[in-house]
A and B are shown apart, each in its own frame.
Chain A
């Protein structure tokens, strides 16, 4: 998962570098691409359910970043894209934390059930 993400980021970065190398493309495109990838990552981590607010904020900011870029406001586009990226990252980490917390709780619940089962069985047999 981390390796995938890294590979994805490297791809995006090299794409951004390629784009950045070309004078006709605005420099905000790299940040917008990173932000877009971060949102995709958050979505696949389940942020749609676990952190819908952060995810929505990230999307809105990404949209506005694109608008600013299209309007030729490179600085504003970069600012918005970077905020969208941390929003998406926060959404993703919330989703991952929620998932891990849930699965740990499930394991503990299963253990409690198992322990009760074991106790009941041994009590039944000893009676």
Chain B
């Protein structure tokens, strides 16, 4: 733009020259340098980057090219034509370089934007990561809390189990104590009844003196023994008893057996009267069999006249000796 006055000057000069040379012939000769410049111009002009970014420079190139063409048309000197062609070609070169520079500047602007985008993305990722970290930390904390709660629950269960076990132990102890007390009571009762431990089980003997002669009814002293025995059997509901009646060898076998059977039956009925279930008690008369003393003396015969109550073992079986 600042060169405008000079260019006007040279335009005037060129016009003057073309007037001076214009008169000569019909067709001006081709000029290779000018053709070169024109080709370079066309190539640049077909490049959109150059058209967009270097429009002013292309205009200057076009002006120079037109001037060269005019010089050729005006049959100016070869030196002049080539001079203007040279100027045009260099101006095309300048336009190309300016376009390249501006494209590079545009690319730099894009690169700056890209850098901002990358940094933003990096910050976003970092923020995402921080959020994820905090989320997983929270999840961990929740899981830990859950585990703690579960452990607490398990501890509570274990504690209640321990309490229950303790209670069971206490109960077992109490039961054991009760059993022991019961056993102690049993032992006392059995001692009072003069029970004897035999290989058939515990045997309680009810003596002849508790019956009237040739009678089967129990005297009151015998009844006391039966009451004790009934209480014992009530505490021990699984135990079965067998009542066996015996006589001395005096008198007939048949009479003796009948008497011993009646006496055994009488004791059985007395036990049932004490509340002992009838199916737990059996009775039989064995007569003079199994004497416990000699029948030769009165004292011996008295010992043989008896009723024995055999307490079966806990399996409910009366040992089958008699």
Contacts and interface: CB of A to CB of B under 8 A. Distances in A.
Interface string A88-127: 0110011011011101100110110011001001100110
A111 to B, nearest CB: 5
B90 A96 contact: no
A94 B94 CA distance: 8
Contacts of A87: 90
A6 B2 contact: yes
B107 interface: yes
B97 A86 contact: no
B105 A100 contact: yes
Interface string B8-23: 0010000000000000
B129 A126 contact: yes
Contact of B115 (A79, A93, A114): A114
A79 B83 contact: yes
Contacts, number: 89
Main secondary structure on B side of the interface with A: helix
Contacts of B299: none
A111 B115 contact: yes
B209 to A, nearest CB: 106
Interface residues of B, number: 32
B114 interface: yes
A111 B111 CA distance: 7
B87 A97 contact: no
B169 to A, nearest CB: 57
B282 to A, nearest CB: 90
A15 interface: no
A100 B122 CA distance: 28
B90 to A, nearest CB: 4
Interface string B75-102: 0000100010011001101100110111
Contacts of B114: 108, 111
B6 interface: yes
B3 interface: yes
Given A111-B115, A115-B118, A90 B94 contact: yes
Nearest to B100: A97
Given A83-B86, A104-B111, A118 B104 contact: no
Given A10-B2, A107-B111, A97 B104 contact: yes
B97 A110 contact: no
B125 A118 contact: yes
A55 B296 CA distance: 169
A86 B87 contact: yes
B97 A107 contact: no
A100 B94 contact: no
B52 interface: no
A100 B119 contact: no
A110 B115 contact: yes
Contacts of A93: 93-94, 97-98, 101
Contacts of B79: 79
Given A34-B3, A118-B118, A125 B101 contact: no
Contact of B118 (A96, A99, A111): A111
Given A122-B129, A125-B129, A108 B111 contact: yes
Contacts of B111: 104, 107-108, 110-111
Contacts of A34: 3, 6
Nearest to B64: A86
6 contacts: A31-B6, A83-B87, A86-B86, A93-B94, A101-B100, A114-B119
Given A103-B108, A104-B105, A118-B122, 17 more contacts: A10-B2, A13-B5, A83-B90, A87-B90, A90-B94, A96-B97, A97-B100, A99-B101, A100-B101, A100-B108, A101-B100, A104-B104, A107-B112, A110-B111, A111-B115, A118-B121, A125-B129
